[in-house]
Amino acid sequence: MTKSKARITAIGSYVPEKRLTNYDLEKMVETNDEWIVQRTGIKERRITRKDEFTSDISYKAVRNLMERYDKTVDDVDLIIVCTLTPDYKTPSVSSMLQAKLGIKNTGAMDLNVACAGFTYGLYVANGLITSGLNKKVLVVGAETLSKITDYTDRTTCILFGDGAGAVLVEYDEQNPSFISTHLGSEGEGGKHLYSTNLSNSMNGEDIIGNGCIVQNGREVYKWAVKTVPKGMQSVMGNVNMELEEVDWFVPHSANLRMIESICEKSSFPIEQTLYSLVDYGNTSSATIPLSLDMAVREGKIKNGQKLLLYGFGGGLAHAGLLITWTV
């Protein structure tokens, strides 16, 4: 890839106050804490209030970034919000966020690549800054999945939660963050993970049209465990580096058993893998920034370390990025 001129300079996050524990779910559907932990690794998730939406939690994540790193966003020239749960079909979450932040001169766009959203957002931000089109881009991964979760479906309601993470990406030719990328999509598998909108059929087959998330967990699991390790090798192979040179692997926090299988298949140590699902569940495009920020707060990630981020899910789309941590 073209030598990057973009640097990640700050990170922030926000999760709603309300907790939904496995014990709470025991009262709602036929399940139990031991079963959920054994199959997913998830202990609890955060849930937005009825009047709290994706633009609200995006704003709080950006405010957190600004306060912790003493950053201003007045000169941000593009906002990218990665989400599959926008407040409205239009206006976009990014436009709502622009208004909440009071930024006068910025572009705004939403990016829907579901669970791969945040890695795609970083890919786009790096490309725009490296090309010279933009100088300072805000990338947010935010979801209110609880609003499209069917709490009578015991196979999906145990998985999903709400949360938001944000990073600032700025022009820096001397100290760029981005090293290598790899993108892919297998749309023919889209029927295995979807939420309906205008159409109630896909590739000639009828699908359930209630607007909630529908997932064939077995098929998504098989696809991810086959696809992600190959993608990881592609990211590293692009720059003739080995996985052993990666300090931290940060996959989409879908399911701990899935992450363990990906690590096993790619021979990457689980001890050097960051995930946010234990406390927050699967927050789709927010899982990777939440994982990163948790590790930053815990002092795990050090400047100069190499991180391999890999988003995968609905689409079925996926994206991997090798970065140097430069915050």
Convert the pLDDT of each residue in 285-311 to its tens digit.
999 999 999 999 999 999 999 999 999
Exposure on the CB side of residue 267, measured as CA atoms within 13 A: 5
Give percent of the chain with pLDDT exceeding 90: 94
The size of the chain, in residues, is 327
pLDDT in tens, 105-115: 999 999 999 99
SS3 272: helix
Q: For the residues 73-98, what does the mean pLDDT come to?
A: 98
pTM: 0.97
pLDDT the model gives residue 300: 98
pLDDT confidence tier of residue 208, bands split at 50, 70 and 90: confident
Phi, psi of 82 (to 5 degrees): -95, 115
CA 45 vs CA 113, 159, 284, 297: distances in Å = 22, 8, 12, 19
- Cβ burial of 232 (10 Å; 0-12, 13-18, 19+) is buried
Euclidean distance between CA atoms 24 and 22, whole angstroms: 5
Active-site residue numbers?
Answer: 115, 252, 282
What are the tokens at 18?
């309300």
Instruction: Judge contact between 236 and 322, C-beta under 8 A.
Output: yes
Rounded mean pLDDT of 104-126?
A: 98
CB 144 within 8 A of CB 163: no
* pLDDT of 209 higher than 90: no
Arithmetic mean of pLDDT, 116-125: 98
Q: Using the predicted structure, report yes or no on whether residue 1 has a pLDDT greater than 90.
A: no
- The set of residues, in sequence order, having a beta carbon less than 8 Å from that of 224 and lying 6+ positions away, is 254, 258, 262, 312, 313
Residue 166 has pLDDT above 90, yes or no: yes
Extract the tokens encoding 26.
Answer: 């025991």
Q: Quick one: which of 180, 176, 163 has its CA closest to 9? A: 176
**Higher-confidence position of 142 and 203:** 142
Q: What is the mean pLDDT of residues 265-294?
A: 98
Does 130 have pLDDT greater than 90? yes
Of residues 183, 184, 254, 196, the one with CA closest to residue 220? 254
Find the DSSP H helices in the chain.
22-26, 33-40, 54-69, 93-101, 117-131, 217-237, 256-266, 277-280, 287-297
What is the β-pairing status of strands 162-171 and 248-251?
unpaired
Q: Directed axis angle between helix 256-266 and helix 217-237, to 10°?
A: 40
Rg (CA), the chain: 19
Q: Report whether 235 contacts 322 (CB < 8 A).
A: yes
pLDDT at position 126? 98
Smallest CA-to-CA distance from 227 within 276, 192, 277 is with: 192
Name 273's bridge partners.
249
Q: What's the CA gap between 141 and 133, in Å, rounded? A: 22
23-40 average pLDDT score? 96
Asked if residue 166 lies in contact with residue 65, where contact means CB atoms within 8 angstroms, the answer is yes
Average pLDDT for the chain: 97
User: CB–CB of 210/152 below 8 Å?
Assistant: no
